[in-house]
Amino acid sequence: DAGVIQSPRHEVTEMGQEVTLRCKPISGHDYLFWYRQTMMRGLELLIYFNNNVPIDDSGMPEDRFSAKMPNASFSTLKIQPSEPRDSAVYFCASSLLGGETQYFGPGTRLLVL
């Protein structure tokens, strides 16, 4: 199995631009999680889905952030408009039956100038 796949691995953009991060979970996994890692706040959960349905989005920082999961093999996290404080590493993770063993992707390192 290829594991969780994220793209792009690195993204540099200018303030005000739209950013779209992509994730392909492990085949057969029914839970998908989006995390953000920063020096100040560590690793924090943004949103998670079960069977493509958003369950808890209480960690999404503001309306500029949105996430979708149109099917079981694809999810996006969009930031519009982006701001310098959004610079972070964004991780996607998936798990089976909500098990605590979440499998993480390699992350997308985002830099907003």
Partner 1 sequence: DQQVKQNSPSLSVQEGRISILNCDYTNSMFDYFLWYKKYPAEGPTFLISISSIKDKNEDGRFTVFLNKSAKHLSLHIVPSQPGDSAVYFCAASQRGGSNYKLTFGKGTLLTVNP
- List interacting residues with partner 1 (CB under 8 A): 4, 31, 33, 42-45, 48, 50, 55-56, 91, 93, 95, 98-107
The 8-class DSSP code of residue 25 comes to P
Q: What is the Cα gyration radius of the chain?
A: 13
Q: Which is nearer to partner 1, 73 or 96 (CB)?
A: 96
- Residue 6 or 82: which CB sits closer to partner 1? 6
Cα distances from 20 to residues 67, 68, 96, 97, 102, in angstroms, run 9, 11, 25, 27, 22
Give 37 or 81: the residue with its C-beta nearer to partner 1.
37
